[in-house]
Chains A and B, each alone.
Chain A
Amino acid sequence: MREDLEAVLERLQTTKSIEELQVWAHELRDALGVTHVVYHTVKQNGEHVGAFTYSLDWARRYVENDYRSVDPVIVGSVRRFHPMDWKTLDWSSPAARDFLREAIAAGVGNQGWSIPLWGPSGEFAMFSVNHRTDDDTWDVFTRRHAKDFLLIAHLMHQQAMRIINKELAEPTRDLSRREREALSMLSTGMARAEVADRLGISENTLRAYIDSARHKLGASNVTHAVALAMANGMIGANEPLPKY
């Protein structure tokens, strides 16, 4: 991931309200160099929560007209978990065409990539990257960034959930012993190959363990994961390393 994007992601956890998340969405948009980014969820009480770069007017119209019921991005994501290129969705109904025309007139780009996000109790959110460009340029762009989009979508969702649920303390999901050992060794500046060697696992397995720890901590990268694990007392700064 590019450095400027990394820096923006690191600032994500400093957002303490939906308004700040909205400001952050603009930083993300600029770092990605796209027309819009959008995060949207509906709380259990039916209240819409979003952090996006769309115009407020378009967002208001979207909610007032209940466009979720015609928006192919929402309709097409029911019970789906894969990232969706907007081009592959069904825009053929008259209602969807009208919606598209209105969206584009409101400044929404013609290309999009959306990632459905599902919580453990069926909570649903959507993260989208939207852009105005031709098909070929968009294909190249999405192939290069598909992995980044997945990571960013989940980080933004985790942060939004923390804000909505008012859990502004650092996340405290427990890590397994192996994940703690891996982070602890990385915190001493040890190279991944050496960590894998000490733990008696392959580098690819180590990567899966580190990715898991990163996701559970809601960290944007390994350095951030190490810092969070230390702050939470999951690993000790001066703890002697386990011997193998």
Chain B
Amino acid sequence: MIRFIYADELSKFPELAETMFKDRAEQFKNRLNWDVSVSEYGWERDEYDEINPLYTVFERADGTHGGSMRTLPTIGRCMTNEHFSHLTDGVKIESPTIWECTRYCLAPGSGPGVAASLLLAGCEMGLRFGLTQALGVFDARMPRIYGRIGWSPEVIGTEVNGRDSISVGLWEITEEARAEICRRSDIPLATVAGWFDASFSATNPLRVAA
């Protein structure tokens, strides 16, 4: 299942958080060889994890991390505008309806179902909140994978550095995109809506009395 979790709520999910940051180290440091820092405990974290981002996390049946990504509004501090504006023609992309999506990560062994669930959850979140586009930073090989899931970003720019190419791209948040990912992944729309509602409702919701 997918959970939407703010950084300041991660302590309620200690195992999920630990495996997420360790899987990020595995993907970004060991596999992709990105210039990221890994703590002595094997966690990959950066300055944007410190400013209370919202994570979309796939939780496996055993409570561990299957995959995740991190979102921040582009009108506040965010990684794309502070580190990658050379890949967006020098434009700092700032709009209330565009959120940044970074650190898209799959745990070792996670299959296409997890990858699709994450994109689907991100699309659902965008539609519910009224977002128009998602701005992403990803390994240049990822668009192929995103394409198979049924939701391709448009690459704005790529920093070519041998094997370690990094791209910045935009996803259009539309109902059509959501329907296409659902169709290809066989994940029902009701399941996606359920993930969202479970995370963004108070544990003890009261119907607001008329």
Q: Give chain A's interface residues, CB within 8 Å of chain B.
A: 72, 76, 79-84, 86-92, 97, 100-101, 104, 110-112, 118, 120, 132, 134-135, 143, 145-151, 153-154, 176-179, 201-202, 204-205, 207-209, 211-212, 214-216
Contacts and interface: CB of A to CB of B under 8 A. Distances in A.
Contacts of A150: 96-97, 129-131
A90 B202 CA distance: 5
Interface of A is mostly: helix
A104 B128 contact: no
Interface stretch (B20-28, B86-94, B178-186): B86-94
7 contacts: A81-B72, A88-B202, A143-B127, A147-B97, A204-B154, A208-B95, A212-B74
A209 B95 CA distance: 9
B94 A104 contact: no
Contact of B75 (A112, A132, A134, A215): A215
Given A178-B90, A212-B93, A147 B132 contact: yes
A185 B95 CA distance: 21
Interface string B64-96: 000000001111100000000000011111111
A146 B132 CA distance: 10
B31 interface: no
Nearest to A209: B91
Contacts of B8: 79
A205 B156 contact: yes
* Interface pairs A-B: 9 shortest CB-CB: A146-B130, A90-B202, A147-B130, A211-B95, A91-B206, A178-B89, A88-B201, A92-B204, A154-B96
Best-surrounded residue of B72, B91, B94, B201 (most CB of chain A within 10 A): B91
Contact of A176 (B73, B89, B130): B89
Given A147-B131, A211-B97, A81 B172 contact: no
A205 to B, nearest CB: 5
A235 B200 CA distance: 43
B180 to A, nearest CB: 16
A84 B199 CA distance: 12
A88 B97 contact: no
A202 B52 CA distance: 32
Given A151-B97, A212-B94, A91 B6 contact: no
A58 B46 CA distance: 45
A91 B205 contact: yes
A83 B210 CA distance: 22
B136 to A, nearest CB: 12
Interface of B is mostly: loop
A17 B92 CA distance: 31
A153 to B, nearest CB: 7
B170 A176 contact: no
B205 A209 contact: no
Given A110-B210, A215-B94, 18 more contacts: A72-B202, A79-B8, A83-B129, A87-B208, A89-B202, A110-B209, A120-B76, A145-B130, A146-B129, A151-B97, A176-B89, A176-B90, A179-B91, A204-B170, A211-B93, A211-B97, A211-B133, A212-B74
Interface string B167-210: 00010100000000000000000000000010011111111111
A90 B75 contact: no
B154 A205 contact: yes
A174 B156 CA distance: 21
B98 interface: yes
A108 B6 CA distance: 30
B50 to A, nearest CB: 12
A82 B200 contact: yes
Contacts of A154: 75, 96
A220 to B, nearest CB: 12
